[in-house]
Amino acid sequence: MKSLVTGGAGFIGSHLVDELLALGHEVSILDNFSTGRLENLAHVADRVRVHECDLGVTGAWADEFSEVDWVFHLAALADIVPSIQDPRTYFQSNVDGTFNALYASHHAAVRRFVYVASSSSYGMPDMFPTPETARMQPLYPYALTKYLGEQLVMHWAQVYGLPALSLRFFNVYGPRSRTSGSYGAVFGVFLAQKLADKPFTVVGDGNQTRDFTYISDIVAALLAAAESSHSNRAYNVGSGSTVSVNQLVDLLGGEKVFIPKRPGEPDCTFADISRICSEIDWQPRVSIEKGVEKILENIQYWRAAPVWTPDTIADATRDWFRYLGNNELP
């Protein structure tokens, strides 16, 4: 079997590469290293083919799709504030890049195409757990581009018969999650603060809940999707439960300080995973307690990560409040 992973040097992609190699696959990786790191692949460098390229621009990289069985399209720009500040780059990466990957996959007649979508496209849902049929209401360019990418995937499956699925990930965490760049996911922020013996910066009152999903469960879902016979379907991928940010702080251990609640952030993320559990052979296996234990065993990975403070967070999220402060959908 031959698999191609776009964004294979990133957090999720590199873990997927590990599992594909363990299954005996020949693995090719396309990555522009805007967020991916060669260090994530150092332990398998002699076993993978890595091509540095920008999927948002057509090029010779499309030749890498030849004779590929499975394509996993993970390459994307993430983060909220940068997407607000530079939407053009996000559309080129996340929408044009997905179009180009689909075009190359179709012409190479790949056997499976698995797209990584985002639960952020649900916006502020009013159904919990949130099913795939819930209204999509992206509130910022990153969420919009991920939803548009999913629509392209469904269109290619419907019109061109490309065997393709989309997985909507909820709050992924685990080793190798990004340690640099803009202010982002709570785990990376908290772990760097813990290493620096600084208080955890808790947004709002900390009672908001999140569907934290451990990386090994995410990779298992990707592989199960590739092995399934379904197409033109979207699936939520979550842990099957939620935990409050205050509970997460208790598990990590440490002091906390509260910072202002941000507009456009839901009070709860909670995936209804009944569809993927019933249609695809997948179940989440890692509890939040076990996941945090694994994270703390690898905490030194975040030693070089920026240590965010209330002041630096306020500065980094200024445009967040500026553009999303009055963002209410009808």
Catalytic site positions:
142
User: Structure tokens of 243?
Assistant: 């935990």
User: Structure tokens of 151?
Assistant: 């629509």
Which stretches within the chain are classed as H helix?
11-22, 80-85, 87-91, 97-108, 141-160, 186-195, 215-227, 245-252, 274-279, 288-297, 310-316, 318-324
Calculate ∠ Cα 166-271-206, nearest 5°.
130
CA–CA distance, 308 with 35 (Å, rounded to integer): 19
> Cα dist. 89→27, 61, 82, 85, 211 in Å?
28, 19, 9, 10, 29
The radius of gyration of the chain's CA atoms, rounded to the nearest angstrom, is 19
User: Structure tokens of 196?
Assistant: 């620096």
Per-residue exposure over 300-311, b if at least 16 CB sit within 10 Å of its own CB, e if not = ebbeebbebbee
Q: Which of 224, 229, 232, 87 has the alpha carbon at shortest distance from 158? A: 232
- The three-state secondary structure class of 122 is helix
Asked if the bond preceding 129 is cis, omega within 30° of 0, the reply is yes
Element (H, E) at 114: strand 112-118
CA–CA distance, 318 with 312 (Å, rounded to integer): 10
Q: Which amino acid is located at 248 in the chain? A: L
Q: How many CA atoms lie within 13 A of 120 on its CB side?
A: 21
